Amino acid sequence: MTVRTRSPDETEALGARIAAELGAGDVVLVSGDLGAGKTTLVRGACRELGVEGPVTSPTFTIGRRYEGPRPVSHLDLYRLEGLGPEEPGLLEDYLTADAVSFVEWPASLEGDFAAEAFGAGVRLARRVHLRHAGGDDREISVEEG
Ligand code: ADP
Ligand code: MG
């Protein structure tokens, strides 16, 4: 499915629609250029999942864990792009079977890393890709994992 959004609110609403279909152990990869709206989409998803505090890109760590009715993990693997599985278990505190997880800059999860990162009870549920489409427009594709 590919949709076009015309505002941050519309992108948040799409994030909420995606989140409504997710369950414990699901991982959503969220790719796209800087400013494409990855964090905006994740914020909408987090609201749907009952997260009330600020939702911003993790900056000084690779991830955050939000309190909600169930835990929500939010990772930003920008710094891992181009790296191999240097640190086994780096992600296992975040990609847990009890949480719903969102991963910005997920390229490092596409290679050998993936096998290590996805432990028991954790599955790739969706791939979301956002593109700038002029002004405030964004073209957003959502695929099953
Ligand atoms: P990323 O995490 O991909 O770097 P952010 O979500 O942090 O992107 O930032 C997206 C920026 O673009 C925000 O300032 C947001 O207000 C703006 N924006 C404008 N139009 C849209 C849209 N349709 N969807 C998402 N963000 C939008
Ligand atoms: Mg971001």
Question: Which tens digits make up the pLDDT trace of 80-124?
Answer: 876 655 565 778 889 999 999 999 999 888 766 666 778 889 999
The residue whose CB lies within 8 Å of the most ligand 1 atoms, and thus the one to mutate among 40, 76, 136, 137, is: 40
Cα separation values, 95 from 8, 23, 29, 33, 77, Å:
27, 13, 12, 23, 13
Q: How far does the centroid of ligand 2 lie from the alpha carbon of residue 36, in Å?
A: 8
Query: Ligand 1 within 6 A of 96 CB?
Result: no
Query: Ligand 1 within 6 A of 31 CB?
Result: no
Q: What pLDDT is attached to residue 72?
A: 98
Q: How far does the centroid of ligand 1 lie from the alpha carbon of residue 44, in Å?
A: 12
Give the residue with greater pLDDT, 83 vs 57: 57
Residue 28 in contact with residue 129, Cβ under 8 Å? no
